[in-house]
Amino acid sequence: MTIDLLPNIDTQLIEILETVSDPEIPVLSVLDLGVIREAIEEKGEVKIKLTPTYSGCPAMDVIGDDLKSAFAKVGKKATVELVLSPAWTTDWMSEAGKRKMEAYGIAAPLEETADKEALLGNKKIVKCTNCGSTNTHLVSQFGSTACKALFKCDDCLEPFDYFKCLK
């Protein structure tokens, strides 16, 4: 499934790419996140194109270093290039990734219209990751990292993160 989303990745590299995760959301691999736009092997060297989720995302430097060291471990040299265009969207996250994220306690991004309704507080549609209730409300449009908003459940009263839809 990740292969469908990322046609420009050499299949033999997938196994190693899967081992590199987002430092803020460790259950998500860089492939789940959809930030690898290209990974090809040429003359023994791996060339990776990485796109940031948000411009200022501090995780990008870490992910770049992690990628290099993951390939170094198997004796391959990797170069990482940061690309901005086309800009990352939450559509590039894999379905498996979204499920893993939910299990980890972060509500996955809704589709665009639903996301707007949720963030404007018009509709109660974001599901609590703790009890599953949609009786939740937005606490802040900005959460613990740039890509998340903060919600609270009005049934079980737990606060939780919601991964914002970005299109």
Q: Is 87 in the site for another protein (CB under 8 A)?
A: yes
What tokens were used for 15?
A: 């196994």
The edge-to-edge listing of strands for the beta sheet with 45-50 is 36-42, 45-50, 77-82
Q: Is 156 in the site for another protein (CB under 8 A)?
A: no
Complex with another protein: residue 52 or 64, whichever CB lies closer: 52
Q: Is 19 in the site for another protein (CB under 8 A)?
A: no
* End-to-end alpha carbon distance in the chain: 21
Complex with another protein: residue 3 or 154, whichever CB lies closer: 154
Mode of pairing for the β-strands spanning 136-140 and 148-153: antiparallel
Q: Is 8 in the site for another protein (CB under 8 A)?
A: no
φ, ψ of residue 102 to 5 degrees: the values are: -60, -45
Question: Minimal distance in Å, beta carbon 95 to another protein?
Answer: 22
Q: Is 34 in the site for another protein (CB under 8 A)?
A: no
Question: Minimal distance in Å, beta carbon 147 to another protein?
Answer: 9
What's the full length of the chain, in residues? 167
Query: By CB under 8 A, which span of 21-29, 39-47, 106-114, 140-148 interacts with another protein?
Result: 140-148
Q: Is 140 in the site for another protein (CB under 8 A)?
A: yes
What tokens were used for 118?
A: 């949720």
Q: Is 58 in the site for another protein (CB under 8 A)?
A: yes
Question: Minimal distance in Å, beta carbon 149 to another protein?
Answer: 9
Q: Is the dihedral of CA 145, 166, 2, 102 positive or negative?
A: positive
3-state class of 162 per DSSP? strand
Looking at 56, 75, 113, 122, which residue binds another protein (CB under 8 A)?
56
CB of 110 closer than 8 Å to CB of 78: no
Q: Is 113 in the site for another protein (CB under 8 A)?
A: no
